[in-house]
């Protein structure tokens, strides 16, 4: 006769017939992107939550403000490059990204890694006092004064604030990060069709997750953020050009190679 075990197998088969294969595929895409995000998030959310009231003292802020522009740019470029490296690792762990040709992977990272860093910034942001986790403690905009581009810093902080207001879950943030990265509108893609298909899957995964979370309305708010991200990254590159005009040797010999490759 038939044992209970066989019955269970039959039920599982039946279950999978009820779902269209594409739905199982979407669940898989969701799970792998969320896992990639979790494994490469640099800081865990609980870690950041526990530290959110650890602020720099007045003296420490003053020490950062007294650094030369040169020194502060070098330091921030280093911190930013660390963060970018985690984003590169995130990308490499997404199946839909890994399957693209090397040229297109590089194009997507060149155009999107800073955008993903800015999405990730909202995890490390405390909206109650407008501070971000930087170098072990929480810092306000004034700490970055010596960079000489407070307009960029203010815009970046405003963005983090507005993204925090959406109160994304880690899963939603992971899928939004993948959406920002896998963008088939980037110039110089060799296999645009494949990037489009990979993007469609991420879009489905994101809308599926938002639907399940009863937050379908978030999708258009997230798409609005994409254009802000692009303008922030352009502003960052513009500021870097401005800095390089004054300190070409610093950029040339003291900035991390990956930073130069991506932004200079």
Least distance (Å) between residue 160 CB and ligand MHQ: 8
Binder to ligand MHQ among 45, 51, 76, 155 (CB under 6 A)?
Answer: 76
- Reported as half-sphere exposure (CB side, CA atoms, 13 A), residue 41 has a value of 24
Least distance (Å) between residue 243 CB and ligand MHQ: 8
Please say which residue, 89 or 213, places its beta carbon nearer to ligand MHQ.
Answer: 89
Please say which residue, 104 or 255, places its beta carbon nearer to ligand MHQ.
Answer: 255
Binder to ligand MHQ among 116, 156, 168, 233 (CB under 6 A)?
Answer: 156
Q: Can residue 241 be called a binding residue for ligand MHQ (CB under 6 A)? A: no
Q: Can residue 121 be called a binding residue for ligand MHQ (CB under 6 A)? A: yes
# residues near ligand MHQ by CB under 6 A: 20
Least distance (Å) between residue 218 CB and ligand MHQ: 21
Q: Which stretch binds ligand MHQ (CB under 6 A): 6-14, 96-104, 131-139, 183-191?
A: 131-139
| Residues at the site binding ligand MHQ, with contacts judged by CB under 6 A | 42-43, 73, 76-77, 79-80, 83, 117, 120-121, 124, 132-134, 144, 147, 153, 156, 239
């Amino acid at each position: 006769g038939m044992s209970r075990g066989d019955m269970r197998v039959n039920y599982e088969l039946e279950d999978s017939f009820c779902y269209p294969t594409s739905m199982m595929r979407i669940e898989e895409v969701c799970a792998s992107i969320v896992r990639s995000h979790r494994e490469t998030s640099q800081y865990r959310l609980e870690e950041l939550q526990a530290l959110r009231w650890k602020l720099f003292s007045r003296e420490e802020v003053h020490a950062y403000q007294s650094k030369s522009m040169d020194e502060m740019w070098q330091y921030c470029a280093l911190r930013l490059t660390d963060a970018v490296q985690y984003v590169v690792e995130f990308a490499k762990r997404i199946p839909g990204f890994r399957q693209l040709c090397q040229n297109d992977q590089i194009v997507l990272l060149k155009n999107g890694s800073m955008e993903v860093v800015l999405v990730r910034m909202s995890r490390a942001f405390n909206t109650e006092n407008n501070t971000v986790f930087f170098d072990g403690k929480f810092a306000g905009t004034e700490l970055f004064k010596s960079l000489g581009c407070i307009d960029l810093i203010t815009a970046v902080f405003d963005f983090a604030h507005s993204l925090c207001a959406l109160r994304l879950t880690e899963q939603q943030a992971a899928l939004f990060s993948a959406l920002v990265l896998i963008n088939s509108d980037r110039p110089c893609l060799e296999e645009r069709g494949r990037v489009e298909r990979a993007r469609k899957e991420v879009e489905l995964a994101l809308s599926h997750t938002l639907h399940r979370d009863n937050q379908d309305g978030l999708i258009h708010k997230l798409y609005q953020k994409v254009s802000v991200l692009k303008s922030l990254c352009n502003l960052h590159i513009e500021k870097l050009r401005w800095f390089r005009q004054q300190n070409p040797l610093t950029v040339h010999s003291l900035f991390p190679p990956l930073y130069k490759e991506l932004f200079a």
